Amino acid sequence: MFRLIGFLALFSATAGGYLYTDYKMSARWSGQDDADGLTFTEYLSGFADRLAGLGGSAAAAGLPTRLVDMLPTPPEGWTVRPTVAEDVAGFLPKSTKKADKAALAAVKAVGDAKADSGTEIAALTYEKGDRKVVIKAVRYPNVIFSSDASIPQRTELQAKGAQFRGTEFMTVRGLDVTEDLLPEGFRGRYFLADAGAQIHLRVLAPKRMADEDLVPFFETLHVRAMNASVIDKVEGLGDVPVIVLASALDDAGREAYLADVAARAAAEAQRQDTQRAEAEAAAAQKNAVVAAEGTKTQSLGSFFVGLNKTFFGEDEGGMSVEERKAHEAALLKATESGDAAAVALHAGALYGAIAEELGKAEMKAASDSGGGFATANGSSGSKSKIKVGVGKCTEKGGKKSCTVESAQD
């Protein structure tokens, strides 16, 4: 029994620690280091999506869920193994001193299989003799595509494309693959594609490999599984039973193919712009609600501060400054929590003190402006000459006092 309790306690602590760490890392991906921009509800939604992806969601029933299983199977005569950083050396210029820095970074990144928390990376190296083909896929966290706080990160991923000279290479079951022509001196060909901007595919191949030689690699790329495992799915992606190689088309076919690719790109850009506008509008509305709530709380606090200055001053009154502050803080807390009894208790205490001070203020105002009555030491509270009732007044030593015999309006 004690062993079971100990196991449950250890499991709870471990699970809690993992959830906290994963929540903070998800917040970092969403652009909020302190997690203020990522609600726990949004996090749990993304976490549930990831669990569904690991176990096989309904949308991806019967399809691979691990990223590595979506990569191509090795063509006949080729072997495959996990990628290491040294695998990309043969694609770099012989001398890197004067090489384009952006191109160097892009090629070296394909050989980097280290994943940040929340991302999944699969990188495989295919070999045949002295030839190597390196294929890498990165799946970014769901939270970037499900949280309004992650709009900048989402936009950045959606904008990733050719950096040098992009040219249409092929369309694999609806997935457009672009060849980004590397600068002079690089000894490889560089290809890129993405599914829903969430899975990014990068391919390095030797320069001497022709377009037709690369078709067998893309033939077994599991496009349908990629589309099923991202948030922003494209209807029909992966179901099209056609692979179109741009260089194999005649002039008319190539022109039609390029027009089709451009139309799809424009439609996707429009969809992303609409989605982004809707997300920004939702985020703005959420921020407005938060700001309004903050203004309401601040206004209530300012109301009591104003009452303090008007009626209590800094240190005067039957209730001390510390007591008033304690009642005000408790009243604010009770108001936010909806505790009516506590609200009545603390509001009553404050209003009682206010009423007491109002009475004192009215007495002081009457003394200053309306009565001319004698003070305790016999001196008049008013500098103006005022008659009070009908009586006998005497003046001694510059001080005037009156005896009221009868009062008349």
d(CA 220, CA 126): 13
d(CA 242, CA 20): 45
Q: Model confidence at 4, in pLDDT bands (50, 70, 90)?
A: low
Structure tokens that stand for 37 in this block:
């921009």
Every domain of the chain and the residues it spans:
62-248, 284-382
d(CA 264, CA 268): 6
Given a cut of 60, whether residue 272 has pLDDT beyond it is: yes
Report DSSP letters for 356-375, one per residue.
HHHHHHHHHHHHHHT---B-
d(CA 71, CA 80): 11
Given a cut of 80, whether residue 231 has pLDDT beyond it is: yes
Going from the C-alpha of 183 to that of each of 93, 97, 170, 197, 370, the distances in angstroms are 10, 14, 21, 25, 93
**Cβ(391)–Cβ(402) below 8 Å:** yes
Instruction: Give 236-247 pLDDT, tens digit per residue.
Output: 999 988 999 999
**Cβ(189)–Cβ(205) below 8 Å:** yes
Q: Are strands 188-195 and 120-128 parallel, antiparallel or unpaired?
A: unpaired
- What would the mean pLDDT of 255-282 be, rounded to a whole number? 82
Q: Are strands 188-195 and 175-180 parallel, antiparallel or unpaired?
A: antiparallel
d(CA 133, CA 136): 10
Long-range contacts, stretch 13-19, CB < 8 angstroms, 24+ apart:
19/47
Please give the DSSP secondary-structure letter assigned to residue 248.
Answer: G
d(CA 28, CA 22): 10
For residue 377, the one-letter residue type is N
Torsions phi, psi for 299 (to 5 deg): -65, -40
d(CA 190, CA 106): 9
Q: What is the pLDDT of residue 299?
A: 56
Q: Model confidence at 3, in pLDDT bands (50, 70, 90)?
A: low
Average pLDDT over the chain reads 76
Structure tokens that stand for 389 in this block:
């009732």
Torsions phi, psi for 241 (to 5 deg): -85, 40
Given a cut of 80, whether residue 300 has pLDDT beyond it is: no
Given a cut of 50, whether residue 255 has pLDDT beyond it is: yes
- What would the mean pLDDT of 104-113 be, rounded to a whole number? 95
- What would the mean pLDDT of 173-201 be, rounded to a whole number? 96
**Cβ(60)–Cβ(228) below 8 Å:** yes
Instruction: Give 328-382 pLDDT, tens digit per residue.
Output: 888 777 776 767 777 677 777 776 777 666 666 555 555 555 444 343 444 444 4
d(CA 180, CA 190): 6
Q: What is the pLDDT of residue 395?
A: 66
Going from the C-alpha of 325 to that of each of 48, 81, 294, 361, the distances in angstroms are 44, 68, 19, 21
